């Protein structure tokens, strides 16, 4: 087997993993077990290998890939039209990932109906790297968007810049004279490691950011619960005081009634109603955190006899 075909077969797992990531990015709801899914991707790799080795006609490879990816989409619980559209999107991403490296190595003349003469080892390595990195980036972008963790667009621009920059340096280094096959393979491995480590480090930073955000949210919720609890304790104290005052009011009213002082009863009740109307209600905006903090502060102000009014 020629070196080019051997490199294609050795790097094919990266291509299959890229398709797996893209399919899961756009179709996360799975229909079958993981075992069935693994078998389907192994079958895809087998079919692609046979087509590549026997029929290297671009249009045939394109149609075969679209059909095979669509068959893979049956692993996911979506309507047929949705799976077909996602299949097209996945293949468009794969095509873009191939066009960029092919342009970098200067391979532009492709007849879709004739066997391709492309046999650049550098080109196929670049294709695999770009495809793999793009698949990871798309997968993580979709996953983060669904979790509602907003990532600035500049973040993705920087990732693309790093990828293209390292690829450019890789291509330039291959123009050196007396470059052996071993040196070329080592350069390819280093390129993959650099991009892989960048993605790995970024994933760890992202996870740390998520954990920090969740811990900070839990801390704020704990403070809100603590303040709400303090407000409830103060409310209970007020209720006990109110019960005591009410008892005194009832005793006073009873004494007035027994003395047949109806005018005094009426005056006393009117005074009580005026005092009750002057009481300010606690905040109930529907936002638990805001309500608990504001109510706590309002209660403190009342206990300190601070006069306040709403605008």
Residue written as tokens 């007035």?
A: 256
Task: Give the pLDDT confidence score for residue 297 in this predicted structure.
Answer: 66
Asked if residue 50 has pLDDT above 80, the reply is yes
**Which carries the bigger pLDDT value, residue 83 or residue 232?**
83
Task: Give the pLDDT confidence score for residue 71 in this predicted structure.
Answer: 92
Task: Give the pLDDT confidence score for residue 42 in this predicted structure.
Answer: 93
Asked if residue 308 has pLDDT above 60, the reply is no
Task: Give the pLDDT confidence score for residue 148 in this predicted structure.
Answer: 56
Rounded Cα distance between 20 and 210, Å, is 25
Asked if residue 261 has pLDDT above 90, the reply is no
Rounded Cα distance between 88 and 71, Å, is 12
Rounded Cα distance between 30 and 38, Å, is 12
Task: Give the pLDDT confidence score for residue 235 in this predicted structure.
Answer: 74
Q: What is the pLDDT of residues 196-248, one digit of tens each?
A: 777 677 777 777 777 887 788 888 888 888 877 877 887 777 778 778 777 88
Task: Give the pLDDT confidence score for residue 68 in this predicted structure.
Answer: 92
Percent of the chain with pLDDT over 70: 70
Rounded Cα distance between 164 and 136, Å, is 15
Asked if residue 36 has pLDDT above 80, the reply is yes
Rounded Cα distance between 191 and 126, Å, is 9
Asked if residue 28 has pLDDT above 80, the reply is yes
Task: Give the pLDDT confidence score for residue 44 in this predicted structure.
Answer: 92
Model confidence band, residue 11 (pLDDT cutoffs 50, 70, 90)? confident
Q: Average pLDDT in the 253-273 region?
A: 78
Model confidence band, residue 114 (pLDDT cutoffs 50, 70, 90)? low
Q: What mean pLDDT, rounded, does the chain reach? A: 76
- Answer whether 0.75 is exceeded by the pTM: no
Task: Give the pLDDT confidence score for residue 177 in this predicted structure.
Answer: 63
Cβ-in-10-Å burial (0-12, 13-18, 19+) of 303 comes to exposed
Task: Give the pLDDT confidence score for residue 128 in this predicted structure.
Answer: 84
Taking each continuous run of H as one helix and of E as one strand, the counts in the chain are 9, 0
Q: Average pLDDT in the 112-138 region?
A: 75
Rounded Cα distance between 153 and 135, Å, is 17
Task: Give the pLDDT confidence score for residue 41 in this predicted structure.
Answer: 93
Model confidence band, residue 303 (pLDDT cutoffs 50, 70, 90)? low
Rounded Cα distance between 148 and 145, Å, is 5
Rounded Cα distance between 17 and 87, Å, is 15
Would you state the structure tokens that stand for residue 191, as one six-digit string? Answer: 């390129």
Asked if residue 264 has pLDDT above 60, the reply is yes
Model confidence band, residue 43 (pLDDT cutoffs 50, 70, 90)? very high
Model confidence band, residue 158 (pLDDT cutoffs 50, 70, 90)? confident
Task: Give the pLDDT confidence score for residue 30 in this predicted structure.
Answer: 85
Task: Give the pLDDT confidence score for residue 306 in this predicted structure.
Answer: 63
């Amino acid at each position: 087997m020629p070196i080019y075909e051997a490199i294609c077969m050795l790097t094919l797992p990266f291509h299959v993993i890229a398709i797996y990531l893209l399919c899961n990015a756009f179709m996360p709801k799975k229909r079958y077990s993981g075992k069935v899914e693994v078998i389907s991707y192994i079958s895809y790799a087998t079919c692609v290998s046979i087509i590549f080795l026997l029929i290297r006609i671009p249009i045939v490879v394109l149609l075969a890939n679209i059909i095979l990816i669509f068959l893979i989409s049956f692993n996911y619980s979506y309507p047929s039209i949705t799976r077909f559209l996602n299949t097209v999107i996945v293949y468009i991403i794969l095509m873009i990932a191939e066009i960029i490296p092919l342009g970098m190595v200067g391979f532009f003349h492709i007849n879709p109906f004739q066997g391709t003469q492309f046999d650049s080892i550098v080109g196929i390595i670049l294709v695999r790297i770009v495809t793999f990195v793009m698949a990871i980036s798309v997968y993580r972008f979709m996953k983060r968007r669904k979790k509602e963790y907003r990532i600035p667009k500049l973040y993705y621009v920087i990732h693309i810049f790093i990828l293209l920059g390292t690829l450019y340096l890789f291509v330039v280094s291959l123009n050196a004279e007396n470059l052996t096959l071993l040196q070329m393979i080592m350069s390819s491995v280093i390129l993959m490691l650099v991009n892989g480590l960048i993605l790995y480090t970024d994933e760890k930073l992202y996870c740390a950011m998520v954990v920090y955000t969740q811990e900070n949210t839990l801390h704020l919720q704990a403070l809100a619960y603590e303040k709400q609890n303090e407000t409830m304790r103060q409310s209970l104290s007020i209720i006990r005081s109110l019960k005591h005052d009410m008892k005194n009011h009832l005793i006073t009213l009873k004494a007035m009634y027994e003395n047949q002082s109806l005018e005094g009863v009426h005056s006393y009740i009117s005074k009580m109603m005026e005092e009750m109307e002057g009481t300010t209600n606690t905040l109930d905006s529907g936002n638990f955190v805001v309500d608990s903090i504001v109510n706590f502060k309002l209660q403190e102000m009342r206990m300190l006899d601070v006069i306040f009014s709403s605008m």
